[in-house]
């Protein structure tokens, strides 16, 4: 299947997925990886690609897999900082020309790394330049590495650019590092590593209708995908992109333990100064600062009092951080 993602289009990008039978139409500068989170290390690779596009004239192309390789190899469900949909959105927003999500089958897992480079990256992706990190690995059991690429570059006629890791003090910036911070609720630190706010995208659905009628705080509810890596359950200061504008928000992530019943994990946001109808519409919730952990209150009245304090916490944050005040885009 070939298609062009249209949900959040800002700049045309060719998106190719679920097929091994494709052929790019022009010479490219290629990078490969999962790009989970598109953190500052990833951005360093992507910006290098953009510079090479300007100087060499090649289109930019990303090779990744439609299923996380670790998930297929281990048989365990893998969670991701950015879903495939969010990854497409991010790459399109950056102006990448091609995004290839290759099916990760058992045959692909066992592919010889030299064959992978020759038949897929050079032949099908038409790579004339490759941009990778020093720990790049690919092919069967990750046997492919920078040294192999350097050797094959001479044989196959592509330029190789090895970009050093981006660091936070002495630690490499990585998706693993960001997941650790999210699990602790440290979204401010995660955002620093990402180079942009951690975000959750979703379609606004009907909740239990307690927020508006009974608490006086109407909220927008989205159900995150099962594979989305969420931060520690609790309440966060947020910024919400809805109907083309950013709004201040307070977001609760969790199971709403005060509300009776078996509640699914949800993302519930009170949006300041907003009264539009966004049911069935896509919104983006960016988490900016941790407020408190998830709590079970003795009554809805007690919960209402706590929400008032959460709103005050959020407004104080925005007063001290004007960079995140609402803007139109």
Mean pLDDT of 280-309: 90
Residue with tokens 């192999």: 148
Q: Among 48-52, 90-94, 100-104, which range has the highest average pLDDT?
A: 48-52
Mean pLDDT of 61-66: 92
Q: Across-strand partners of 290?
A: 236
Q: Where are the domains of the chain?
A: 2-168, 187-324
Report the alpha-carbon distance of residue 224 to residue 207 in Å, rounded: 13
Q: What is the pLDDT of residue 275?
A: 86
Pairing of strands 14-17, 98-102: parallel
Q: What is the pLDDT of residue 212?
A: 46
142: pLDDT confidence band, cut at 50, 70 and 90? confident
Q: Across-strand partners of 285?
A: 200, 240
- In eight-state DSSP terms, residue 163 is P
151: pLDDT confidence band, cut at 50, 70 and 90? very high
Residue 76 has pLDDT above 70, yes or no: no
Report the alpha-carbon distance of residue 318 to residue 286 in Å, rounded: 13
The superfamily in CATH containing domain 2-168 is: HUPs (3.40.50.620)
Q: Which helix (H) or strand (E) holds 77?
A: none
Residue 70 has pLDDT above 60, yes or no: no
The superfamily in CATH containing domain 187-324 is: Riboflavin kinase-like (2.40.30.30)
- pTM for the complete prediction? 0.85
Find the helix packing angle between 187-194 and 175-183, rounded to 10°.
160
Report the alpha-carbon distance of residue 66 to residue 83 in Å, rounded: 10
């Amino acid at each position: 299947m070939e298609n062009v993602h249209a949900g959040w289009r800002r700049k045309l990008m060719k998106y190719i997925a679920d097929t091994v039978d494709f052929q790019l139409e022009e010479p490219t500068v290629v990078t490969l990886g999962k790009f989970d989170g598109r953190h500052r290390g990833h951005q360093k690779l992507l910006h290098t690609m953009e510079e090479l596009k300007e100087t060499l004239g090649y289109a930019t192309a990303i090779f990744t897999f439609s299923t996380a390789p670790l998930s297929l190899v281990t048989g365990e469900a893998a969670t991701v900082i950015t879903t495939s949909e969010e990854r497409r959105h991010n790459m399109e927003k950056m102006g990448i020309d091609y995004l290839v999500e290759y099916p990760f089958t058992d045959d692909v897992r066992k592919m010889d790394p030299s064959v992978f480079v020759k038949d897929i990256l050079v032949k099908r992706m038409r790579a004339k330049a490759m941009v990778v990190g020093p720990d790049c690995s690919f092919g069967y059991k990750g046997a492919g590495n920078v040294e192999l690429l350097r050797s094959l570059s001479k044989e196959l006629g592509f330029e190789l650019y090895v970009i050093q890791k981006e660091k936070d003090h002495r630690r490499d910036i990585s998706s693993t590092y960001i997941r650790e911070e999210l699990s602790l609720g440290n979204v401010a630190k995660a955002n620093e590593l990402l180079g942009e706010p951690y975000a959750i995208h979703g379609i606004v659905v009907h909740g239990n209708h307690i927020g508006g009628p009974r608490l006086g705080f109407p909220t927008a509810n989205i159900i995150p995908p099962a594979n989305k890596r969420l931060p520690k359950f609790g309440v966060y200061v947020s910024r919400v992109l809805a109907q083309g504008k950013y709004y201040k928000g307070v977001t609760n992530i969790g199971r709403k333990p005060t509300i009776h019943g078996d509640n699914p994990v949800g993302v519930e946001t009170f949006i300041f100064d907003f009264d539009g109808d966004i049911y069935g519409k896509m919104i983006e919730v960016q988490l900016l600062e941790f407020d408190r952990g998830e709590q079970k209150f003795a009554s809805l009245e007690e919960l209402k009092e706590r929400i008032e304090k959460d709103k005050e916490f959020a407004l104080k944050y925005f007063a001290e951080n004007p960079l995140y005040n609402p803007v139109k885009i």
